[in-house]
């Protein structure tokens, strides 16, 4: 289970710069898919062989420098609730401000690892100035300059030392698929789960301790075995009002990372809004299977093309990853509930698709020969060999002479063709072009 690291602190101390430093190493490689880095406050990183998620709480406050202290308190409260490790950033140029002292007071009560990070320390004079931060009462601190990166390596060493060792995966254990039901408050998550379980709650077995807050429930319905990760109850725990998109996104992070397929429930009466999109991109970025359920369809005024237009609009909002099942349901009348679960199981299977290398070469090499990448500066890209990588989620590599000349539009063309030929509905796939 990946750890979640949250960065807290008042505005303008350099939280976002530090965030970019922590995630760029990996994001630059992993997220070559254009349009995936829309959410710039959430990223993945790895260091010393440990992968973790980083959340910058700062980017979410809307307002100017004189941000209400209330907002910052909310963020810190949320980070304390949701993160495994907290980085508290302060600014050596300004010394301890009343707001810093306030944040430190909140952190004193916390039993989680807290790293005080004094930013903008780029010479020995400032090392001495940093000593005053001992007065925050949080023990030792780390000095860094997030602008030039000095000190961040040592900080990462210290942070990853506090993370559990990655668990070895036992290939013989057939894990049940985990379906997480996510969505905005009041979209109908609980009703969906209740409609699924019906009156049979007593045959439900809760697997204790699988995550701190989402409850895994093992089901066997409709001939499928699966674990349902019920996140409906997660919200109640926090002292934080759920009024900003950020909060539901941060809540969704842990759940999404922990599941195989994300069932995103959207309220038809409100449409596919910013928060739904955030959750969608989060699932896409984590390479999870995705099924979109449009709930409360029974409440919509119907005209001839209502359904088609509604669906078409969502597909434009989730482009370029549009190969996603969208199902219209009603948790009230139980309309298409079975179809929803059936589709989630299909998406889970699609995510495990493995295409034999010989077959893959036969099909795809023929295709790229017929439609080669456009020549650039008179140079022609020749693709010689391709294969699926032995990764948990579908990734493909195409070996060619000039990978640097293969641009995004061509990568998308190859992905679309691949999707036409093989069934990867609901599953994000990654395509690399490499030199042999």
Per-residue pLDDT of the chain (436 residues; tens, 9 = 90+): 678 899 998 878 888 888 888 886 443 323 333 333 334 577 778 888 888 888 887 644 444 445 556 777 777 887 888 789 999 999 999 999 988 998 999 999 899 999 999 999 988 889 999 999 999 999 999 999 988 889 999 999 999 999 988 766 555 555 778 899 888 777 888 788 878 776 444 333 333 333 334 456 777 766 778 887 766 434 433 444 444 455 556 667 777 887 899 999 999 999 998 778 888 988 998 899 999 999 998 888 877 678 899 999 999 999 889 999 999 999 888 889 889 999 999 999 999 999 999 999 999 999 999 999 999 989 999 999 999 999 889 999 999 999 999 999 999 999 999 999 999 999 999 999 999 7
Residue 162 marked as a ligand binder: no
Residue 9 is labelled as binding a ligand: yes
Q: Is 234 annotated as a binding residue?
A: yes
Record the pTM. Answer: 0.70
Q: Tell whether 121 is in a known binding site.
A: yes
Q: Is 268 annotated as a binding residue?
A: no
Bridge partners of 106? none
- The rounded distance, in Å, linking the Cα atoms of 187 and 252 is 14
Q: Assess whether the previous peptide bond of 320 is cis (omega < 30° from 0).
A: yes
The pLDDT value recorded for residue 365 is 94
DSSP code at position 223: T
CB atoms within 10 A of CB 366: 10
401 is in an annotated binding site: no
11 is in an annotated binding site: yes
> Where do the domains of the chain lie, and which CATH numbers do they carry?
4-162 (3.40.50.300), 178-352 (3.40.50.300), 357-435 (3.30.300.20)
User: How many C-beta neighbours within 10 Å does residue 362 have?
Assistant: 11
Q: Is 14 annotated as a binding residue?
A: yes
Q: For residues 265, 52, 237 and 271, what is the CA-based torsion angle, rounded to 10 degrees?
A: -20
Q: How far apart are CA 214 and CA 208, in angstroms?
A: 10
- 187 annotated as a binding-site residue: yes
Q: Per the annotation, does 185 bind a ligand?
A: yes
CA distance 403 to 368: 14
Q: What is the pLDDT of residue 37?
A: 32
Please tell me the distance from the alpha carbon of residue 353 to that of residue 349, in angstroms, as a whole number. Answer: 7
3-state secondary structure of 70: helix
Q: Is 218 annotated as a binding residue?
A: no
Is 151 annotated among the ligand-binding residues? Answer: no
Does 177 belong to an annotated binding site?
no
Is 298 marked as a binding-site residue? yes
In sequence order, what are the residues at sequence separation of 6 or more whose Cβ sits closer than 8 angstroms to the Cβ of residue 250? 6, 42, 55, 57, 78, 82
Residue 354, marked binder: no
Q: Is 290 annotated as a binding residue?
A: no
| Per-residue tokens: 419 | 């999707």
Distance CA 70, CA 78 (A): 12
Do the annotations mark residue 189 as ligand-binding?
yes
Instruction: Give bridge partners of residue 221 from the DSSP assignment.
Output: 224
> Are the C-beta atoms of residues 20 and 41 closer than 8 Å to each other?
no
- 296 annotated binding-site participant: yes
Is there a binding annotation on residue 32? Answer: no
User: Is 57 labelled a binding residue?
Assistant: yes
- Predicted confidence at residue 206, as pLDDT, reads 39
Q: Is 233 annotated as a binding residue?
A: yes
CA distance 252 to 410: 33
Q: How many CA atoms lie within 13 A of 56 on its CB side?
A: 24
122 labelled ligand-binding = yes
pLDDT value for 174: 59
223 appears as a binding residue in the annotation: no
């Amino acid at each position: 289970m990946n750890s979640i690291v949250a960065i807290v602190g008042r505005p303008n101390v350099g939280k976002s710069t530090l965030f970019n430093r922590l995630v760029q190493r990996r994001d630059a490689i992993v997220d070559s898919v254009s349009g995936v880095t829309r959410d710039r406050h959430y990223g993945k990183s790895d260091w010393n062989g440990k992968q973790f998620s980083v959340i910058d709480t700062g980017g979410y406050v809307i307002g100017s420098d004189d941000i209400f202290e209330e907002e910052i308190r909310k963020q810190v409260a949320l980070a304390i609730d949701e993160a495994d490790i907290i980085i508290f950033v302060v600014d050596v140029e300004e010394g301890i401000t009343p707001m810093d002292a306030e944040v430190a007071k909140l952190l004193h009560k916390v039993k989680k690892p807290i790293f005080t990070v004094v930013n903008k320390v780029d010479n020995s004079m400032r090392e001495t100035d940093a000593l005053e931060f001992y007065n925050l009462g949080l023990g030792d601190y780390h000095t860094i300059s997030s602008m030039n990166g000095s000190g961040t390596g040592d900080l990462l060493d210290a942070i990853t030392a506090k993370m559990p060792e990655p668990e070895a995966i036992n290939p013989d254990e057939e894990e049940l698929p985990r379906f997480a039901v996510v969505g905005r408050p009041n979209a109908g998550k609980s009703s969906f789960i209740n409609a699924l379980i019906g009156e049979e709650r007593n045959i439900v077995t809760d697997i204790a301790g699988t995550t701190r807050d989402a409850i895994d429930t093992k089901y066997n319905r409709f001939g499928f075995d699966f674990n349902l990760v019920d996140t409906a109850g997660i919200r109640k725990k926090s002292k934080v009002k759920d009024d900003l998109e950020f909060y539901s996104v941060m809540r969704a992070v842990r759940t999404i990372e922990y599941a195989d397929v994300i069932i995103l429930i959207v309220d038809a009466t409100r449409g596919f809004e910013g928060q739904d999109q955030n959750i969608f991109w989060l699932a896409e970025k984590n390479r999870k299977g995705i099924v979109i359920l449009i709930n409360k369809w029974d409440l919509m005024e119907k005209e001839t093309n209502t359904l088609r237009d509604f669906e078409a609009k969502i597909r434009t909002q989730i482009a370029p990853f549009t190969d996603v099942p969208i199902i219209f349901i009603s948790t009230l009348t139980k309309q298409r509930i079975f179809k929803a679960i059936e589709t989630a199981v299909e998406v889970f299977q699609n995510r495990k698709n493995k295409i034999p290398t010989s077959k893959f070469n036969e099909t795809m090499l023929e295709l790229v020969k017929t439609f080669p990448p456009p020549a650039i500066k008179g140079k022609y890209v020749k693709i010689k060999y391709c294969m699926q990588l032995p990764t948990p989620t579908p990734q493909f590599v195409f070996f060619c002479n000039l990978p640097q000349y293969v641009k995004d539009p061509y990568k998308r063309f190859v992905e679309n063709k691949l999707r036409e030929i093989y069934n990867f509905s609901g599953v994000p796939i990654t395509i690399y072009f490499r030199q042999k």
